[in-house]
Structure 1
């Protein structure tokens, strides 16, 4: 509960700042902001093997987690955004290596996005850097940490284009450097969305491909029970948002694994409250 109190305290400070998140490449504009409080449920009793086939999890493993996450974007300058992702996770795993559950602050991620170019004809081009910090817990003292137990840095190229009145499309490609045993990752995302005020719809493919450079001398259980040292995955998410009043909207989403290697197979269900200030 002490950790949860720290999370709520940070949320109050950030939400007190005040002030439209678009897809990926778009920035908020100076002093505008976007705030999202979400709750997500994930469960898995199957996994992808090294060949990409879905098989029963090794040792009859069952994994589930419930994550409560604050995500925010703040327009520092018109072409520059700061972002923060702050999760509180409760997780449970039962397998041949451990039976454990834990709740606490997970991996916190901060980001900086810079819009490079924008025009009506060409769309929006941007770059983004992210840093993931795992210092709110000690993975060596926990049977089931609330995160991956390591820090990462990531760089991304982002592109977005309005197809008005037929919605928008977003594309992202990046590379994540992982500081410990698991391999680095190539990241990619394809997104399409459209609005019929007050309802908006979105579908996206979010994926990660192993760079195949894991530490092959590592022995022992993985900190993250849902992934191997050279995991790859692809997930499709469908989301529906409804604008209620003023800056307030609500959103529901469902995501499912569509391919992978050395990672769990499962489904995620998310509900969220969104505040946009401009």
Structure 2
């Protein structure tokens, strides 16, 4: 399904789109800086600039007219500690999309997608890390009336509970559970995430995640798929498995630069695309 040669060719012209018993700083230095429940100290944080390529040729649902979907994006994720156990975080991405139907008719679009901004508070560190977050998704950087729109054009608001537990030299575990209210016609969503990561040595770390969406099945009865983009249908379930390998260049430096390579696969779902993606990211922990 994933075609590496096609990925390399496509890049030529398209603009693309932390533990109990130890401090948060120790998690940051391990390369596991964006482990969800841990909040960085005041003035510390994490940035990631990444390019991702996604390809799907199956749709889990009723759509006999679909043939292929290709999405490329360049994304920036940032997280910054405000002090008093608070942090702000957000993400912005630029997308290039191409969708082909059964008659080989292609639709394309590119531009900025939804912006996300949130705040997170860490309530405790013992006997496990407990945090809560609030996130807003903002659809103001694209035209929702485009034939292949870059989002579904409505605001989303999400509350999430995040848990973390250090396993000391065996890494860490994380779990997240949330509810996303989607304004307008689309269905609200239950969100969940399970995560495990560990450091192989002072430079190399590995991480895996299961990231899921379960529809609340409360979409408006007149909700329609006016947007051809099959990534943003009004109501769907999905589950993605992610595997990441990361390398920190100088773990003793205050500014820790690194690289991450992430493979993601759509492993289950309903009314959603079935594909896989690869992402290369430049990271900075400070």
What TM-score, normalized to structure 2? Answer: 0.84
Instruction: Please say if 1:94 is aligned against 2:100.
Output: yes
Q: Report the equivalent of 2:24.
A: none
Asked whether the 8 Å contact 2:172–2:197 carries over to 1, the reply is yes
Q: Report the equivalent of 1:264.
A: 273
Deviation at 1:102, TM superposition (A): 1.3
Instruction: Please say if 1:181 is aligned against 2:188.
Output: no
Picking from 252, 273, 276, the partner of 2:282 is 273
For 1:266 and 1:164, how far apart are their aligned partners in 2? 35
Q: Secondary structure at the match of 2:151?
A: coil
Runs of 5+ consecutive residues of structure 2 not aligned to the other structure: 1-13, 18-27
Deviation at 1:202, TM superposition (A): 0.5
Q: Secondary structure at the match of 2:140?
A: coil
Instruction: Please say if 1:134 is aligned against 2:139.
Output: yes
What TM-score, normalized to structure 1? Answer: 0.86
Q: Deviations over 1:89-134 (max 9, x none)?
A: 1111122697321111110000100001112xx1100000000001
Deviation at 1:78, TM superposition (A): 4.0
For 2:206 and 2:84, how far apart are their aligned partners in 1? 26
For 1:220 and 1:189, how far apart are their aligned partners in 2? 27
Distance 1:216 1:256, change over 3 A: same
Q: Secondary structure at the match of 1:143?
A: coil
Distance 1:239 1:219, change over 3 A: closer
- Across the two proteins, how many residue pairs are aligned to each other? 253
Q: Report the equivalent of 1:213.
A: 218
Distance 1:22 1:45, change over 3 A: closer
Q: Report the equivalent of 1:196.
A: 200
Higher strand share: 1
For 1:166 and 1:219, how far apart are their aligned partners in 2? 48
Asked whether the 8 Å contact 1:27–1:78 carries over to 2, the reply is no
Q: Report the equivalent of 1:53.
A: none
Deviation at 1:180, TM superposition (A): 2.1
Picking from 234, 239, 257, the partner of 1:234 is 239
Asked whether the 8 Å contact 2:91–2:117 carries over to 1, the reply is yes
Q: Secondary structure at the match of 1:58?
A: coil
Runs of 5+ consecutive residues of structure 1 not aligned to the other structure: 9-19, 51-56
For 2:36 and 2:210, how far apart are their aligned partners in 1? 13
Alignment RMSD: 2.1
